[in-house]
Structures are given as C-alpha cells and as structure tokens.
Amino acid sequence: MQIFIDSADVKELKALAETGLVDGVTTNPSLIAKSGGDFFETLRAICDAVSGPVSAEVVAQDAETMIAEGKKLRGVAPNIVVKLPLTPEGLLACKALTDEGHPTNVTLCFSAVQALLAAKAGATFISPFLGRLDDGGQDGMQLIREIRAIYDNYGYETNILAASIRTGAHVRDAALAGADCATIPPAVFRALYKHNLTDAGLAAFLKDWKATGQSIL
C-alpha cells in the first residue's frame, strides 16, 4: 500500500520524504490556508520535495471553472493531481480532465455508489473519508471493503485512497481491506514506527552489548 502524507507543511514534508517511505502528498484548501504561504509557491515547494503524486484541490463549484482551475494547477508541476469534489459538476470535470490525460483525485466520498460513479468518470484516485464516517457512528472501513469489491468485480483501475485517517489501526485495517493508498497526517505516520515491545527489546539488547565492553567500530 502506498503511503501519502496529508499536509501542506513544506518543512515537515521534506523531512518525511527523506525517509524514503512516502509515496505522495494530499492537500486541500484548509491545509494550504493553515500553512500561511502563497498557494502556488507552497504547491511548487511540495512538488519539489516529493516526487510522487501531489493532490491539489480546485475551489470552483461549476464544471467549466473546475476544468480551468485544474489545468492551471497541472501547470505548477508534472506530479500534480487535480482534486475534485464528488458532486455532479465535479464528476463532469473529472471526465473532461481525464479524457485530456490529466490525473484526478475525487474527494469527499462517503458511499460505494459514489465511488462507482467516480470510477466511471475515470478518476485516478477515489478518496473515501473513513474517520468522518466513524465519527457519525458508521463503519468507515466497511466502505473500503465495498469499494474494493465493486472495483474488482468490474476491473476499474481507479486507486482507492483511504482518507480521513486518524490512527495506526486505520492504516492497518485499510491495508487489510485492500486500499491501494492511505493518506495520513504526519503524527500518525510517525506513530507507525512505535511499539512498546520494540523499545523494550532495543533497550535490553543495548544493555547486554554494553556489558561486553566491545565495539563494532
């Protein structure tokens, strides 16, 4: 499963990209606003830091303007993916941009039939929001399983990009459910490394090694 980072903090993204474990980035208008920087300068810096797909979202509500915004975003860097809302106008824009060879990410997906429509519109990625469904008392991971089954039934090539990830358990369960990618906050990414038994085992190994009085170098 590919791991994307959901952030517009350029400094943090550069540091995480250096691990070699980050496959891409997702942004949205809220994250860009939080970064405090110029929209296009921030996107260029992110695309320079991460070689994989970088989702940048349109803000228009009608298909014609979404398409124009999408083309402008694509001019920022070759790894930009145009992020579009799962609305009738968004899917019209998705189909038009896809037909012209532009990669797309259809976002704010909350049902399997929405994901079916996005795949029929040619979306490169579909972003189901797991955490927000869980917040409402629904099973977000069941949505991933349903989308996986539908896409496999009909051979759709749209990548399932699990979004609104809150915990390491979400990442694990999304991988088990067959998500192609997960986009996660930086703090959740760092937490994936951690386990108390790993820390305890390392401490014991180092204690025993120190007692030998030896050195590898």
Q: By residue range, what is the domain housing residue 208?
A: 2-212
- Note the pLDDT tens digit of each residue in 7-38: 999 999 999 999 999 999 999 988 988 888 89
pLDDT of residue 37: 87
CATH assignment at residue 131: 3.20.20.70
**Exposure class string for 29-68: b at 16+ Cβ within 10 A, else e:** eebbeebeeebeebbbbbbebbebbbbbbbebeebeebbe
* Whole-angstrom distance, CA of residue 110 vs CA of residue 125: 14
Q: What is the DSSP string of 17-31?
A: HTTT---EEE--HHH
The model scores a pTM over 0.85: yes
Within a domain: residue 12?
A: yes
Within a domain: residue 144?
A: yes
Catalytic residues: 83
Within a domain: residue 104?
A: yes
* Whole-angstrom distance, CA of residue 212 vs CA of residue 215: 9
Within a domain: residue 217?
A: no
**Directed axis angle between helix 63-74 and helix 88-99, to 10°?**
40
Q: What is the mean pLDDT of the chain?
A: 97
Mean pLDDT over 164-192 rounds to: 97
Within a domain: residue 179?
A: yes
- Note the pLDDT tens digit of each residue in 34-62: 888 899 999 999 999 999 999 999 999 99
Within a domain: residue 111?
A: yes
Instruction: Please tell me the total count of domains within the chain.
Output: 1
pLDDT of residue 29: 87
Mean pLDDT over 106-110 rounds to: 98
Within a domain: residue 198?
A: yes
Quickly count: other Cβ atoms within 10 Å of residue 192's Cβ: 14
Q: Residues of the chain with pLDDT > 90: what percent? A: 95
